[in-house]
A and B are shown apart, each in its own frame.
Chain A
């Protein structure tokens, strides 16, 4: 079966750095997405990786290793507004998105 694994919850301190990991086992691979979802709101797109390596976008970076079935989202200079759930999703060989359950990130002052 297809599977996306992420930690259920993480806690970090304002101003610090946090890394949220995602491992996947899917039938084929056509890209990996990270979305941010604040409580009670819709998911919003953060990043997309289709080739190995690091993609940097401001305070957020996303890394992909296709051979290891692994990605991480790196958040720097954490702010209270970064408290949210972070969803990892993989596009499989049929171009359908397989979603992880999400990682709830709690930022403490």
Chain B
């Protein structure tokens, strides 16, 4: 069972370049999320999507954009990367109708912006 697949696993990017982090899930979950995780800080929500065709801003959306054209895919785009976007990015999904609605995470994408 694949669950959630993220790509790339890691990437080094020059400042000012654009980058898309890919995320695909095969669990038919309605909700998907992008988080960044930095040392000493909790997971911070960048953007989310409660269902295909809709997206919303999280706690730290600036510099990032997302789209949700279908249930399975939720790419995250950095239009013009800056060094402060160096982080580990996690994509997650959940069945918000389930009793617990726990999140299932991808393996993460480590991004370094120089």
Instruction: Decide if the interface of chain B is mainly helix, strand, loop or mixed.
Output: loop
How many A residues, CB 8 Å from partner?
21
| Complex contacts, B107 vs chain A, CB 8 Å | 41-42
Please measure, in the bound complex, the distance between the C-alpha atom of A98 and the C-alpha atom of B41, giving whole angstroms.
Answer: 12
- A45 with B42: CB separation less than 8 A: no
Interface range for B: 10 to 19
- B90 with A43: CB separation less than 8 A: yes
| Complex contacts, B58 vs chain A, CB 8 Å | 96
Q: Point out the residue from A33, A44, A87, A95 that lies within 8 Å of B42, measured CB to CB.
A: A87
Residue A74, interface by CB 8 Å: no
Residue among B58, B96, B102 with the highest chain A CB neighbour number at 10 A:
B102
Closest-CB distance, A80 to chain B (whole angstroms): 22
Q: Point out the residue from B41, B45, B105, B108 that lies within 8 Å of A44, measured CB to CB.
A: B105
> 15 interchain pairs (CB within 8 A)?
A4-B42, A8-B40, A41-B108, A42-B90, A42-B106, A42-B108, A43-B43, A43-B90, A45-B103, A97-B43, A97-B45, A97-B103, A99-B42, A99-B43, A102-B42
When A and B form their complex, which 10 residue pairs have the shortest distance between CB atoms, in order from nearest? A99-B42, A42-B105, A48-B100, A45-B102, A99-B43, A101-B42, A42-B107, A43-B105, A100-B42, A101-B41
